[in-house]
Amino acid sequence: MAAVKERDPAMLAETMENWLRKEIARAGARGGIVGLSGGIDSALVAVLLKNVFGSDMLTVYLPVHSMEQDREDALVMVKTFDLPYREVDLSPLYDNFLRSLGEEKITPLAAANIKPRLRMTALYALAQSENLLVCGTGNRPERYLGYFTKYGDGGADLLPLGDLLKSEVRSVSRYLGIPEPLIEKAPSAGLWTGQTDEEEMGMSYDVIDGYLAEGKGDDTITERIERMHTLTEHKRSMPPVCLFRR
């Protein structure tokens, strides 16, 4: 499949940095915080924040029985860009929480989604304590398909990458000097061992990018993408309110 036409990465980086500066200043915060997962999306958000706020930002690695490779990749970013960094292991909390709920009553997918919800809670606790805004890492394909955990990684104050195609995430990352192994790493939410975004969605980011950017895709792809978009609309909206006639 031919690559979609991408916007200039220098323009995209500058626009996102100016936007972050304006939005965080408007909120009266001193900077931003991002959960550093070892993947490319969080790496890019971290670099954007560092470029704008210097030491007035924070990256946090929040493992929940995570793979050691993810931690190593996160530390590569910390060392390469001199990022303010904390590490908080949520694994014991996750285990205790599951036991309290009754592990045998919780489905595997429900258990997996507890992980990003615990991370969201940790990020907001740190953010509020240090006058930072939580910066999410969702990109345009993930937002459109609803490929995020409601009140988990979807819980954020700002979404700087929210209008970027996945291919643009990669091009801006290259422009900003993020190491190539992280750019080429298979995208994964880290919900379970061996999990990848594209396998779970049933299509590649290139296919989704092509559809979102140019309306390209066969009938099967179009139907699948639009069905996912419709079914996940509740993730992109505030909860409905039951209104009474006045």
Question: Which residues does the annotation mark as catalytic?
Answer: 41, 142
Q: Which of 35, 81, 29, 26 is nearest to 58 (CA)?
A: 35
CB 206, CB 1: distance < 8 Å: yes
C-alpha distances (whole Å) from 171 to each of 74, 183, 210 are 19, 9, 16
As given in the structure block, the two tokens for residue 64 are 């929940």
Which residue bears the tokens 């993020």?
178
Backbone φ and ψ of 61, nearest 5°: -95, 125
Enumerate residues 6+ apart whose C-beta is below 8 A from 117: 149, 151, 152, 155
Q: Residue 82, CB half-sphere, CA atoms under 13 Å: how many?
A: 5
CA distance 183 to 165: 14
CA distance 144 to 225: 8
